[in-house]
Amino acid sequence: MNPRKRRQRPVTVFDGRTHHVALCRGFRDGLPVFGWGEAPSTLLTATQLRQVGLRRNGQDPVALLVFRHHHPYRHETVAELFSVERAAPVRGTEGQRRAKVQGALRARRICAECRQDVGYYVPTSTGLCWNCEGIDLAEEVAA
C-alpha cells in the first residue's frame, strides 16, 4: 500500500433533492473533503457553476475540494463545492447587466423638477439640478 495514499471514507452528500454516496478524505469544518478529481459530478465550484451558466442561488457550500499544486512551494488550495441541483440560472448576460448600469447612471442625471438630462449627476440630497435649485433658493430669499 502506498504510504501517501489517504484512506477514503464513504460519505452521503445531500445536494438538494438526492443523496449521493461518495468517498471523501475526511471532514473539515463539518463538510466532507474531496481531493482533485474525487468529487461527485453534481458538485461544482462557484467558478465552474458560472462557466455552465449557473449561480449559487444563496446556498451554503456542500463540500470542500482540497488539493496541493505540483510545485513544492505552493500552498494547499481549498475550494467550496456547491450543488448543481440547487443552483439557479444566471440573471442575465454581461450586455444586459451593462445596459442596466448605464440606465441607472442615466437616471442619476435627470432633475426631479424639470425632468431634463442635465449632463451631470444631480445631488441625491435635493434631486434638483443647479438651475432648479437656484430658482428655489431665489424664491425663498425673496419671500
Residue 124 cell numbers, joined:
441625491
What pLDDT, on a 0 to 100 scale, did the predictor assign at position 23?
73
The per-residue pLDDT string of the chain (143 residues; one tens digit each, 9 = 90 and over) reads: 444 555 666 666 655 566 666 677 788 888 889 888 888 888 999 999 999 989 998 899 999 998 887 777 778 889 999 999 889 988 877 888 899 999 999 999 999 999 999 999 999 999 999 888 886 555 555 55
Burial of 84 (0-12, 13-18, 19+ CB in 10 A): middle
- The residue type at 56: R
Which residue has cell 471523501? Answer: 24
What pLDDT, on a 0 to 100 scale, did the predictor assign at position 1?
43
- The residue type at 136: D
What pLDDT, on a 0 to 100 scale, did the predictor assign at position 8?
62
R_g over Cα of the chain: 27
The residue ranges of DSSP E strands in the chain, in sequence order, are 9-14, 19-24, 26-28, 31-34, 43-44, 54-55, 63-68, 76-83, 88-89
- The residue type at 53: G
Residue 3 cell numbers, joined:
504510504
